[in-house]
């Protein structure tokens, strides 16, 4: 049974860009990578899954329910999103992370329970930000703010986590930390998290994702395992750039290297 089922989805902006006929089945505990050139519709797809854009046709279901059947609050408890742009506010990182608990409480009746506090502290620990918990978000680096946003999204305890270029401001150590973390959360036997991550680094996508969706001009050009999707023909055609693909010396997963002129 899929956690997320997208069937013949079209969505986009009235009179403008649309994604068309997107079909995707995501099993619980899977890390899905969305790849494709700038402007190919990756964020439009995630915004539609998040419910910020309504499908023009086709459907999206989460578990057994069509997304349209879920209330705003149910959706906010089930799906959390981290985007590339973070708008830092002048509150401590701990309070910022705690905002992830808001959808679990009725509006205006938010009293942080000890159970909430435990989730907040655990989320901060998972991303390794314990030493910065009392600092103001506005006093953190872009990368630290981004890790804070990831902690807030984990604090929601969602079933589905959407990462839209959420590692864009991170150095290689923090990128690996985040991707290893999401992979280990996906592998949790009791409560597996399911992740859909827009990634630009094709080798990272190959290494950390179970399944890849390659988008081109609003449509799915190819989907499948990293080996099936990351071929020299697919990447050369979609990115209009010659690449060499070679197995990673340790993992054996495909590595994508631009072919230098
Ligand atoms: P990607 O995330 O793959 O880079 P997007 O899904 O953000 O691409 O954008 C796809 C296309 O939709 C782009 O051509 C972009 O200009 C257009 N677009 C994005 N957001 C809007 C919007 N709010 N209104 C109209 N067009 C938009
Ligand atoms: Mg985008």
pLDDT-based confidence at residue 226 (cuts at 50, 70, 90):
very high
Query: Does residue 43 have its Cβ closer than 6 Å to ligand 1?
Result: yes
Domain ranges, ordered by start, for the chain: 1-25+43-70, 71-192, 201-261
Query: Does residue 44 have its Cβ closer than 6 Å to ligand 1?
Result: yes
- 30 or 87, which is more confident: 30
- Residue 73 confidence (pLDDT) above 80: yes
**3-state class of 14 per DSSP?**
coil
DSSP string, 15-33: TS-EEEEEEEEE-TT-EEE
pLDDT of residue 257: 95
pLDDT-based confidence at residue 87 (cuts at 50, 70, 90):
confident
Percent of the chain with pLDDT over 70: 98
Query: Does residue 48 have its Cβ closer than 6 Å to ligand 1?
Result: no
pLDDT single digits (tens) 23-71: 999 999 999 999 999 999 999 999 999 999 999 999 999 999 999 999 9
pLDDT-based confidence at residue 86 (cuts at 50, 70, 90):
confident
Q: Report how far residue 167's alpha carbon sits from residue 73's, in angstroms, rounded to the nearest whole number.
A: 27
Residue 40 Cα: closest atom of ligand 1: 3
Contact partners, residue 234, CB within 8 Å, separation at least 6: 214, 221, 222
pTM comes to 0.95
Q: What are the residues whose beta carbon lies below 5 Å from ligand 2 (ion)?
A: 42-43
User: Which of 113-122, 166-175, 192-201 has the largest mean confidence?
Assistant: 192-201
Minimal-distance CA residue to ligand 1 atom 6: 41
Q: Which ligand is nearest to the CA of 85?
A: 2
pLDDT-based confidence at residue 143 (cuts at 50, 70, 90):
confident
Kindly state the helix (H) or strand (E) to which residue 174 belongs, with its residue range: helix 172-186
pLDDT single digits (tens) 102-138: 999 887 666 678 889 999 999 999 999 999 999 999 9
Is 20:7 a contact under the CB 8 Å cutoff? no
- 71-192: CATH, from 3.40.250.10, 3.30.470.20, 3.40.50.300, 1.20.1070.10: 3.40.50.300
């Amino acid at each position: 049974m899929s956690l997320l089922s997208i069937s013949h989805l079209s969505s986009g902006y009235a009179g403008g860009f649309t994604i068309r006929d997107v079909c995707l089945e995501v099993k619980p505990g899977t890390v899905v990578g969305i790849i494709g050139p700038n402007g190919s519709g990756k964020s439009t797809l995630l915004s539609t899954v998040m419910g910020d854009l309504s499908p023009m046709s086709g459907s999206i279901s989460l578990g057994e329910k069509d997304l349209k059947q879920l209330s705003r609050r149910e959706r906010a408890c089930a799906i959390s999103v981290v985007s590339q742009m973070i708008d830092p506010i002048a509150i401590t990182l701990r309070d910022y992370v705690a905002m992830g608990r808001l959808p679990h409480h009725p509006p205006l009746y938010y009293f942080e329970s000890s159970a909430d506090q435990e989730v907040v502290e655990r989320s901060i620990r998972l991303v390794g930000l314990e030493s910065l918990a009392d600092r103001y978000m506005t006093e953190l680096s872009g990368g630290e703010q981004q890790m804070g946003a990831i902690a807030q999204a984990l604090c929601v305890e969602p079933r589905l986590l959407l990462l839209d270029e959420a590692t864009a401001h991170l150095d290689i150590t923090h990128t690996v930390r985040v991707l290893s973390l999401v992979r280990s959360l996906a592998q949790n036997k009791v409560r597996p998290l399911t992740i859909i991550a827009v990634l630009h680094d094709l080798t990272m996508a190959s290494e950390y994702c179970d399944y890849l969706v390659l988008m081109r001009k609003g449509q799915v050009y190819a989907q499948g395992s990293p080996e099936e999707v990351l071929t020299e023909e697919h990447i050369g055609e979609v990115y209009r750039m010659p690449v060499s693909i070679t197995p990673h010396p340790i993992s054996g997963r495909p590595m994508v290297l631009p072919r230098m002129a």
